[in-house]
Amino acid sequence: MTKTRKAAALISGGLDSLLAAKVILDQGIHVEGLNFFTGFCVEGHTHAIRKKDKAKPKRNNALWVAEQLGVKLHIIDIIEEYKDIVINPKHGYGANLNPCLDCKIFMVRKAKEWIEKNGFDFIITGEVLGQRPKSQRKDTMAIIAKESGANELLLRPLCAKNLPPSKAELEGWVEREKLYGFEGRTRKPQMALAAELGFDDYAQPAGGCCFLTDKQYSQKLADLWKASGSRRYELDDIMLLKVGRHLRPRPHFKLIIGREDGENRFLHGYRKQYTHLFTVSHKGPLVLIDGDTAAEDLDLAAQITARFSQGRNADRVEVEIQLLDGSSQTLSVRPIAAEAMPGDWYL
Partner 1 sequence: MSHYELDARRLLCPMPVIRTQEKAAKLKPGDTLAVICTDPGAIHDIPAWCRVNGHEIISIREQQDELRINVLICDG
Binding site for partner 1 (CB under 8 A): 35, 37, 41, 43-45, 47-49, 58-60, 62-64, 66-67, 70-77, 239, 265, 269
Q: CA neighbours within 13 Å on the CB side: how many for 43?
A: 19
Cα 19 to Cα 193: distance, rounded to the nearest angstrom:
8
343 burial via Cβ count (<10 Å: 0-12, 13-18, 19+) = exposed
CA distances (Å), origin 154, targets 24, 125, 149, 335: 13, 8, 9, 59
In whole angstroms, the minimum distance from the beta carbon of 244 to partner 1 comes to: 14
Asked if 314 and 337 touch (Cβ cutoff 8 Å), the reply is no
Tell me how far apart the 2 most distant CA atoms of the chain are, in Å: 84
